[in-house]
Amino acid sequence: MTVNTGVFHAIWSAGLVVKFTLLLLCGASVVSWALIIDKRRQFLQAARANEPFLESFWKATSLDVIFQQVQTNSQSPLARIFKTGYVELQKLATARQNPGSDDKPAGPPLLSGIDNLQRSLNKAIDQEISALEDRLTILATIGSTGPFIGLFGTVWGIMSSFQQIGITGTANLAVVAPGISEALIATAIGLAAAIPAVVFYNHFLTHLKKQELILTTFSSDFLNIAKRNFFRDK
């Protein structure tokens, strides 16, 4: 007796539970690859936009010049952080020069105001990291649950094989092959969905840490520049 054990035939002849499991895993794999492509684009875009901004920042003669330039460079996380710090500096300077401040002498903001600037920069960094980190948990979920969903299909396929053995009273290849095929296919698709998700999740985490370091370093540099030029001791 000829037994058709091809992959597509095995999937077509699988039970409803196994078919649903395979459909779920295929859907998870599609979602995973869509996220991988999108996050890859997002990280590359951020890295490429940061390079020209940093070059312009260190070459500029004043913060006003840089602020005018960042209006057209909204793709750079560093540019957005600079914009946040610049706007906060303007608020501090405006508040300091407010005529309603009777007991405050004119001049640069007092050193205590730098705490406000630092909090604004930290908040901006958190927002940028949150945007880069967005939806990475979906990759982690697919990577951790994919093998177990595949394992469920594996167990169900093996159970089907034993049921067929019980019904027919024999254990030849024609009886057990369909269930075993279902089990192995479920395992393979579960791993195929999980492995790329895990690999790229760890890859993106590494890039996320690098971006966080870059943002934090730039924030410190900006604070040092602001402290030297716009703040004075009490």
Two tokens, residue 58: 């260190």
What confidence category does residue 3 fall into, taking pLDDT thresholds of 50, 70 and 90?
very low
User: Residue 46: pLDDT above 70?
Assistant: yes
Establish if 1 belongs to a structural domain. Answer: no
- Residues 194-233: tens digit of each pLDDT: 999 999 999 999 999 999 999 999 999 999 988 887 776 5
Domain that holds residue 141: 14-230
From residue 187, alpha-carbon distances to 32, 140, 155, 196 in Å are 17, 19, 10, 15
Two tokens, residue 7: 């992959």
The per-residue pLDDT for 206 is: 96
Establish if 109 belongs to a structural domain. Answer: yes
Establish if 9 belongs to a structural domain. Answer: no
Establish if 4 belongs to a structural domain. Answer: no
73-77, 93-97, 127-131: least confident range: 93-97
Establish if 6 belongs to a structural domain. Answer: no
How many domains is the chain built from?
1
Establish if 3 belongs to a structural domain. Answer: no
Establish if 195 belongs to a structural domain. Answer: yes
Establish if 121 belongs to a structural domain. Answer: yes
pTM: 0.80
User: Residue 118: pLDDT above 80?
Assistant: yes
Cβ atoms of 223 and 118 within 8 Å: the answer is yes
- Residues 14-39: tens digit of each pLDDT: 678 888 888 999 999 999 999 999 99
